[in-house]
Amino acid sequence: MIRLWQNVRSTRIVVVITLAISLFLNMSSLSAQEPDVKLGEQLFNAKCASCHNASSKKSTGPGLAGVLGRIPGGDWKYNWVHAPQKMIAAGDGYAVKIFQENNKSLMTPFPQLTNEEIDAILAYADPGPKNPIGDKAEKGDGTEKNPGDEEQSIPYFLIIILVIVLITLIAVLRYTRINLHNAMAEKEGLPEEPARPFFAAVRHWMAHHKTKVAALGILLICFLTVKGWYALQGVGVYAEEIHPNEWVGYHPSQPINFSHKIHAGDNKIDCKYCHSGVEKSKTAQIPSANVCMNCHKVIDQNQAGTEESKAEIAKIYFAVGWDPEKRVYTGKENPIVWNKVHALPDHVFFSHQQHVVVGKVECDQCHGDVKKMGTVEQQRPLTMGWCIDCHRTTPVKMEGNGYYTALHEKMKEKYKDQPITVAMVGGIECARCHY
C-alpha cells in the first residue's frame, strides 16, 4: 500500500513540477524573443540580402556574421549605412579598407533607416558567436529558414531539459523511497534492500518487469519508426502544407529582388508574357533580360517608387548593358544567375506545353499563388507521389481534341460514367516521364 501511495505521490509531484518548469521555460522562451530581431530579419531581407549574407560567407558585400566585432564602435555603423561614400571620401580608415576589399563597389546608402532599425538588422545578422541562422544559410548557400523554425527549435531544447530534470527527479525520489523503505524495514526488523548503483538498479528493475520493458520497447520502436518514416519522406522535399491551402517552402533570395506580387499581382501582367515558352516548349523559361527591357526601358529608375526599386532596376540595366543616361545599349552583357526554385531531378522529363496546352492546367496548380509572392516560394512538394496523385484524379481534357476522339469512345465504353483520368490513359507509366 505504501508503495502504491508513494508511486502515486511521486507521479503527481513529477507532473506538477514538470508543468511548472515547462511553463517557466516557455515564458522565458517567449520573453527571450526580442521584437527587434524579427524586424531586423524583415529589413535585412528587404534591403541587405541582395548583397550580404547573414553568415560569414561573402556575397557582393562581406558576410555580416561577426560584423560587430570587426567594425569600429560607436556611431560608425549608423554613419556608414546612412552615407558610406561620405565616409570613404572623408578618408575613414576602416571604411576605405572595406571599400578596397570589396572590389571598390560602393554600398547602396540607406539614409531612411533609423538607428534602431540598423541595430535590429545587426542583431539579426550578427547575433553573436553562436549563429544557427548563419550556419544554416551557409550550408544551403542562399537557403533561408522559415520564420517558424526558431520557435520550433526551442521545444526540442525544452524537452531535453525536461528529460534531465525528470531523470534527476526519479533518482531523488528513488533515493527517498529506498531510505524510507529501509527505515521501515529497520523498524520492522526486515532485511535492508541492498543499495545498488543506479544502472544496476535499472537493470534489476528491468529484469523483474520484462513485460513492461517489452511493451515499452515495442512502443518506442513503433514511435521511432513512424517518426522516422515521416522524417524520411520529407527528405529533399522543400514544400510543406502547414495549414490547409497554406504552404511554406523553399524560397531562396534572388540576385534581383524581383517581385511577382508587383508584376503579376498589382500590374496584372500575364504569366505567359514573360514565361513565353510555356506553350511552345518543355520549359516555361525564365525570361531573358531583354524581355524585362520591354517595359523597363520606360519604367526606369525615375519612375521607381522607392530607392530599393531603383537599385533593382539598375541591376537589369547592368545585365543587359543599358546606359540609362544616354539611353543606349553598351554591349556589355552580364547574365543574371538566378537561384532555381522549382527544380525537378534530371531523370524526369517534364513538359510545360503538355500540361498547359493539352492538359489545360493552370499555373497556380503547381506553382501556388505566385501573384501574392514577393520572393517566389516553392509551394508544392513536386515529388513523384504528388505528380501521380494528380494524374490519378485529374480527368483528361478529351472533348474537342481530335487526338482523343476514338480513344474517348473506347474508354467511355469501358469505364461508363467514371471520369477518365490521366492514369487511365497510361499517365502513370514509367516511360511517360522517365527516359
Partner 1 sequence: MANDKQYWKGISQLTDETKFAEKHSGEFAEYIPVEDFIGDKAKMETSSTNRRDFLKFLGFSTVAATLAACEAPVMKAIPYVNRPDDITPGVANWYASSFFDGHDYASILVKTREGRPIKLEGNTLSPITKGKLSARVQASVLSLYDSARLKGPKMKSGNAWADKAWSEADAAIGAKLAQSKGIAILSSTIISPSTKAAIAEFSAKYTNVRHVTYDSISYSGMMKANLSSFGKALIPTYRFDKADVIVSLGADFLANWLSPIEHARQYGITRKVGKDKKTMSKHFQFESNMSITGANADERFPVKPSQLAQIALGLLNGVGGGGSASNVMGTQVTKVADALKGARGKGLVVCGSNDAALQLVVNEINKSIGAIGTTIDWENPDYTHQGDDAAVKKLVEDMGTSIDTVIFYNTNPVYSAPMALNFGAAMKKLSCRISFSGMLDETAAMCDFICPDHHYLEAWNDHNPRKGHYSIQQPAIRPLFSTRHAQETLLLWSGNKTDYHTYLQKGWKSNMLPMQHTFGDFAAFWNSSVRDGVSELWPATATQTEDEKKSLLGITKKDKDKSDTISANDESAVVSVSNDSVSFTGGTITLSEATSQLSSWKGGKYELSIYASTALGNGAQSQNPWLQELPDPITKITWDNYITMNPADVKEMKLFGVEGDDKDAVIVRFDQMEDMLDVVEITANGYKTKLPVWFQPGQARGSIGIAVGYGRKGFNEIIDNTGANIYPAVGMSASGTMSYDVYDVQLADAGVEQHKIATTQSHSTIMGRNEDILRETTLAAFAKDERAGNPRPTMHTYKGEADVEKVNLWNDFERPNHQWSMAIDLNSCIGCGACVIACNAENNVPVVGKDEVHRSREMHWMRIDRYFSSDTVKEEEDKKDEEGKGELGLMEMYRHMENPSFDNPKVVFQPVMCQHCNHAPCETVCPVLATNHSSEGLNQMAYNRCVGTRYCANNCPFKVRRFNWFNYTEYHRFEKTNLNPAHDLLGRMVLNPDVVVRSRGVMEKCTMCVQRIQGGKLDAKKAGVRPADGMINTACAQTCPTDAITFGDLNDMKSAVSAMEKDGRKFEMLEETGVRPSVFYLTKVWNREDEKAHV
Positions that interact with partner 1 (CB under 8 A): 139-143, 235-236, 238, 252, 276-277, 280-283, 285-291, 319-321, 333-340, 343, 346-347, 349, 351, 353-354, 357-358, 400-404, 406-407, 410-411, 414, 425-426, 429-432, 434-435
> Between 77 and 342, whose beta carbon lies closer to partner 1?
342
Tell the smallest beta-carbon distance from residue 353 to partner 1 (Å).
Answer: 7
Residue 18 and residue 386: Cα distance in Å, rounded?
Answer: 41
Tell the smallest beta-carbon distance from residue 276 to partner 1 (Å).
Answer: 8
Residue 355 and residue 361: Cα distance in Å, rounded?
Answer: 6
Contact 386, 238 (CB under 8 A): no
Contact 343, 199 (CB under 8 A): no
> Between 170 and 291, whose beta carbon lies closer to partner 1?
291
Residue 9 and residue 268: Cα distance in Å, rounded?
Answer: 67
> Between 194 and 400, whose beta carbon lies closer to partner 1?
400
> Between 390 and 411, whose beta carbon lies closer to partner 1?
411
Q: Is 318 exposed, middle or buried (0-12, 13-18, 19+ CB in 10 A)?
A: middle
Tell the smallest beta-carbon distance from residue 319 to partner 1 (Å).
Answer: 6
Tell the smallest beta-carbon distance from residue 289 to partner 1 (Å).
Answer: 5
Q: What sign for the dihedral angle of Cα 159, 162, 167, 173?
A: negative
- Amino acid code (one letter) for 220: L
Tell the smallest beta-carbon distance from residue 60 to partner 1 (Å).
Answer: 16
- How far, in whole angstroms, is CA 360 from its chain's centroid? 31
Tell the smallest beta-carbon distance from residue 402 to partner 1 (Å).
Answer: 4
> Between 78 and 404, whose beta carbon lies closer to partner 1?
404
Phi and psi at residue 246, to the nearest 5°: -125, 115
> Between 42 and 285, whose beta carbon lies closer to partner 1?
285
Residue 294 and residue 376: Cα distance in Å, rounded?
Answer: 22
Contact 271, 278 (CB under 8 A): yes
